[in-house]
Amino acid sequence: MQKDQLFTRRRALLAGVTAVGAVGTAGAFAVGSGGGPAPSAAPAPGPAAHRPLKPSAYRLQPLTGYGAPRDALRRPPVRSEPILRISGRGRVMMLTFDDGPDPRYTPDILDTLAEYGVRATFFVCGEMADYNRDLLSRMADEGHVVGNHTWSHPLLTRLTRRRIRTEMERTSEVVEQAYGEPPLWFRAPYGAWNRAAFQLGAELGMEPLAWTVDTLDWTTPGTGTIVERVEDGAAPGVVVLSHDAGGDRSQSVRALRRYLPELLDSGYHLTVPRRRFV
Ligand SMILES: [Zn+2]
């Protein structure tokens, strides 16, 4: 490919923000391919792991400060299942990276995305984000989307409603401070959703986003296998799940370097979600 064509394509990719819509159905509590509990996918405990979770004074817009009509526009509906795919014209896909940021792997992933002018979505854990705020700043500078993946990556279905709220609120607070905006998307750890998570997410101004293709990279199946899973699963509207933390993610880093140029050469536009009602 000629350099000028590549440049044009990269610019098109940067402009190619796509609305997300719910397509298909899912189980009430565990969704996405391979969405069951995955114990080793939990993030490595950060220095904050043993800090007690205190209810935060922080409240997002839907609870305070906005007039009713504006609230209605900003507050997402309470869903009973997460969004699994993106809607949009043409060959659009989304890359998502969960559990980070981790200074051992996330910078490499950001470097590769920057090399190809591609934006991605990072579902961060608050306890990781709190100690790697510079990486959230970099994500903001480079146009990536940051979502909420809870503070400490618990199985939400085993928590009280109050604890779920604290997990989500504290994470949104750190994201807003370090990224510059509160997250508009959340993803339940292990893909284990429940009604409280949907309700609280909506109260905090967030939409639930799951995935279509699970690379299962946390099982460290080998770089080639991760590449194959992405390429075999590639299709319009697909959301790909990978991880940039929670263990040795060097295979995930290397796999991205291989499948990203191949997806682009196949005509895919990698995009980030945009909310229709904001
Ligand atoms: Zn996770």
Among 150, 141, 103, CA closest to 123 = 150
Neighbouring residues of 221: CB distance < 8 A, sequence distance ≥ 6: 251
Q: 214, 34 in Cβ contact below 8 A?
A: yes
Taking the C-alpha atoms of residue 7 and residue 3, their distance in angstroms, rounded to an integer, is 6
* Ligand 1 centroid, distance to 33 Cα (angstroms): 14
Per-residue pLDDT of the chain in tens (278 residues, 90 and over written 9): 444 444 344 333 333 444 454 443 332 222 333 333 343 444 444 444 444 444 443 433 333 333 444 454 568 999 999 999 998 778 999 999 999 999 999 999 999 999 999 999 999 999 999 999 999 999 999 999 999 999 999 999 999 999 999 999 999 999 999 999 999 999 999 999 999 999 999 999 999 999 999 999 999 999 999 999 999 999 999 999 999 999 999 999 999 999 999 999 999 999 999 865 43
Please tell me the distance from the alpha carbon of residue 251 to that of residue 151, in angstroms, as a whole number: 25
Q: Read off the tokens for 227.
A: 């590449």
Compute, in angstroms, the gap from residue 124 CA to the centroid of ligand 1: 8
Q: Which residues neighbour ligand 1 (ion) by CB within 5 Å?
A: 98-99, 189
Cα(121) to ligand 1 centroid in Å equals: 13
Q: What is the pLDDT of residue 73?
A: 52
Q: Is 214 part of the annotated catalytic residue set? A: no
Angle between helices 106-115 and 133-141 (to 10 degrees): 10
Cα 186 to ligand 1 centroid, rounded to whole Å: 11
Q: All domains of the chain, ordered by start, with CATH?
A: 3-18+74-271 (3.20.20.370)
Instruction: Select from 173, 208, 215 the least CA-distant residue to 194.
Output: 208
Q: Which of 144, 149, 153, 243 is catalytic?
A: 243
d(CA 130, CA 173): 10
pLDDT at 61: 36
What tens digit of pLDDT does each residue of 208-265 get?
999 999 999 999 999 999 999 999 999 999 999 999 999 999 999 999 999 999 999 9
